[in-house]
Structure 1
Amino acid sequence: MPGFGLSVVNDAGVISIDSEYSRLCVLQIGTYSGGAGNATISFNPVITTQEPPLVFLRPNNNGGLVTIGCGILGSAGNWTGINITGPTNYAPNGKYFIGGFAPTPTASFGLRLWDGASKLLFDSGKQAAVFTRFYQNWTYVKSTQDAQGFYTNWYSSPFSTSADEYLMINNAGMRMLSGDNVGRGTGITYDFAASQLWFTTTALNNPFNFSLPAVFAKPIA
């Protein structure tokens, strides 16, 4: 909380707006669909942050398994879109929003708030988002090994489709450390039938430690 300036606190005692820190904003929002394991979304306008934007996905419930990944297109200061991937027999479809801590001046009237360095922190015309859940309570379930000798570890956690939450997919595109210079590949699978979220890691050796968080958020009006 700033020593001077503006703070807005909600009914639960949580700071919603602060004159020192940006809040999570919805930079783009919509639905996605594709075919043969691929769906591409182009940003309009492009996102000009130096750091990659946060990508939140909510795949449609197909009553079974949905494996998704995501790549961010473009480069620092010129992020042009995202590529949502899955198995070739799956047509990716669902909802998404792109989040960031960099509001753009969109309101023709209302409220804008800058920090001491003239960085725009809040614009009342920009839709906001809130983080809803954060957990690391993954349960190791099994390991499988393919013909090339790669191990895939399977970790699960329960989830509910009743809440209109989106999973931050950036984590699933990161390679994790292992006992070699290859690292562990990562992946996310929704098991809608069992109400389980699966995180997989794939590597040549088989480290079991896993504490990467699952982060959920939702847009608010």
Structure 2
Amino acid sequence: MKEENCVTKSISRSTYRVVTIVCGMLLLSGCVMAEKYEAEKARSLNFQRLLAQEEKRTGELDNEAKRGKKELMEFEARNRELTAQVQAIREQMARVQEEAEAMKESALLERKAKADMKRQVTPTRKAQPSESISDTVDLSASALGIAPEVPAVPEPTEPLMGSMRSPIIHVVKPGETLYRISRKYGLTVDKVRKLNKLPDDIIEVGQKLIVGQE
């Protein structure tokens, strides 16, 4: 009986120890799990906080992008308006230049018409004295029995071939002015006037003008 009691006591003690160890292990594992849970919970809260900050930052960036897009559209609209204004100013300047050229051409034509009228009036006034002088000269020459002298016409000297370049001649057509002719050949009005030794800008239809050299 004593041996059985000893065996039962030893079994109960070992069982108690095992149970105690198991309970301790369970308690330790529970503490570890609780710590892990708290750590994971803290990490989750931190992640949620970071996610909220990123969402806020993303919203701010979206607002900035919208503002930038709106400003860009305003700049483009302003640029289109300025481009239209510049184009209108250019067209207006072109019209003003055309009107100025037309006024200049009309003034030149008017001066030319006045000069033609003066040239037509002056020969008729001087025609009679010249005829009377020629009659007196003819009478005096015939009275003396001497033939009237005819002034000798100098023979034109032919230029050597290759020594000079032949000039480019332009025949003035109706409606043409010195300004148009100079622009046609890429010259200035002063250059054409100097080449032809013209006192002014008045030219006549059929007049031959030197406008360069070949």
Report the TM-score range of the alignment, normalised by the length of the smaller protein. under 0.3
- Which structure ranks higher in relative contact order (CA pairs < 8 Å, sequence separation ≥ 6)? 1
- The structure whose Rg is larger is 2
Q: TM-score, normalised by structure 1?
A: 0.17
